[in-house]
Chains A and B, each alone.
Chain A
Amino acid sequence: MREEGFIGAVILLLSFLVLFLFLILPQAALAQEGTWSHSSPTWTITYIHSNGSWNVSQNHSHSYAGKNLSESFAHYLYANASRGESVILDTWSVLPASYGSQLSTGTAIGYDSLGTEGQLTTREGTVVGFYSRDFGCLDASVGSQVALTHGIGHSSTKVEKGIGYDFSSRGKGSVEVGCDAVAIGNAHGTYSQHITANGEFNIYYSADISLRANPLCPFGSAP
């Protein structure tokens, strides 16, 4: 009986140890490679649901500098609602990944002026700097600005060896969405797109910019 109890205690201890290692290993691995810093918790959720006036302003940032890679991410949200019924949800998270870090952000908004003169204005965006010896460099910013008298909107960003941005909005008012990017390696390029719409609109926008090492390259791997 005493032996069984001891074995049970050891198994329990080992389980805790394994769990502990799973939790800290990714950060520890990164810490060995470089410096990982962030201005706020590695994940945040902001939720507002109101029948009155309010405004919110928030910024998150993250940076990492390692041997062959440095990266910096920033996400911002500014919103203002007057009268009507409004709802907003904004999320931010950064996790260590197999190569650098993975950023995920999401913003969802909804508004109904309920017959008043009110409106919801929001401005959200993500700015990314990614400098890698293996994949090249990328500076990119994506984002949107919306003024709604009635409608909904949603955007999400994912960053890992590039940036992916999805935006959709439907309603009345005005909307602006776009992307700017500069990629520098052995080749270099600039790209930008900006869309504005006024009136009653339905808009979907998706931008994906990825960097990769080229296996077909006649020069072999990156310098």
Chain B
Amino acid sequence: MKKTPARLILIRVVVIALAMSFTFGGVAFASRNVPPTPETATLTITTEVVCDRKMKEIEQLNWECSNKDLLDNPPLTSGQKYGKIKYKENTFSSGGTINLYKDFKVDTGKTPNLEVTKNIGYTAACKKGSVSHTEGVGMSLKSKGCCVYVAAGCYMSMTDVQATTETKAQITQTPEMHYEINAGRLEGPGNPAEGIISASMSASVDDEHKGLKLRYKTTVDGSFAFYEVMDFKP
């Protein structure tokens, strides 16, 4: 009789849609964006790597903007707005074959201001082989008496995986964030991946009268198919 390994427990954490609605009111919240600056920049980065031994990839972005020259700050005075988007990602693989595809786009004048899609496939070729991946995106908006902060990301350490992620963030229109991750096995959708994975989102909104804090995190360890989508929309 075929023995089922104890580790091979199929865990499906499926579809956690996190839509945050605030009691602050949509119109008031939507006005908390930072308008596009006179000159804008676009970044379009495409990365494709296939490697059978060791691979390391590190990427980071830090973008700040304001609607006026913010001299003698803090504190912000009436009518002054400040926005920031941060992104950091690193991937490291060894002892196996990795197939990485990534599209990274920034447009400081159009939304979404940040858009990243990624596909990671990995199969270990030896016992010590693994891939680790960390990704995080954060955005903050500040004006006099108001502060909005949103962050999302994932961590995974796997021996066999086919994973896709999608990240979107914007601050020059109504502030929004979207983070989505789907992880399974290489052989096809629905098959379980091996390892540990976690995904999280946190948000805080503070103004003169109200404050809201929210944090959500899922961690799965073992053999699993994993899908999670998290949205921050006012």
Contact = CB atoms under 8 A, between A and B. Distances in A.
Given A191-B61, A214-B109, A223 B38 contact: yes
Contact of B51 (A192, A201, A204): A201
Contacts of A218: 35-36
B187 interface: no
A208 B55 CA distance: 23
B50 A202 contact: yes
A185 B50 CA distance: 37
Interface string B43-60: 111111111111111111
A136 interface: yes
Contacts, number: 155
Given A189-B63, A201-B51, A194 B44 contact: no
A188 interface: yes
Contacts of B109: 212, 214, 216-217
B36 A213 contact: no
Interface of A is mostly: strand
Q: Which of B40, B42, B52 has the most CB of A within 10 A?
A: B40
Interface string A181-206: 10101111111111111111111111
Nearest to A185: B39
B85 to A, nearest CB: 8
Contact of A191 (B38, B46, B55, B106): B106
Given A205-B45, A209-B41, 8 more contacts: A179-B45, A188-B65, A189-B41, A193-B57, A201-B51, A206-B44, A211-B41, A214-B36
21 contacts: A185-B38, A185-B41, A186-B39, A186-B66, A187-B108, A189-B41, A191-B106, A193-B58, A197-B51, A197-B56, A199-B52, A200-B52, A200-B53, A201-B50, A201-B51, A202-B48, A203-B48, A205-B45, A206-B45, A206-B46, A217-B109
- 4 tightest A-B contacts by CB? A199-B53, A187-B65, A186-B37, A189-B63
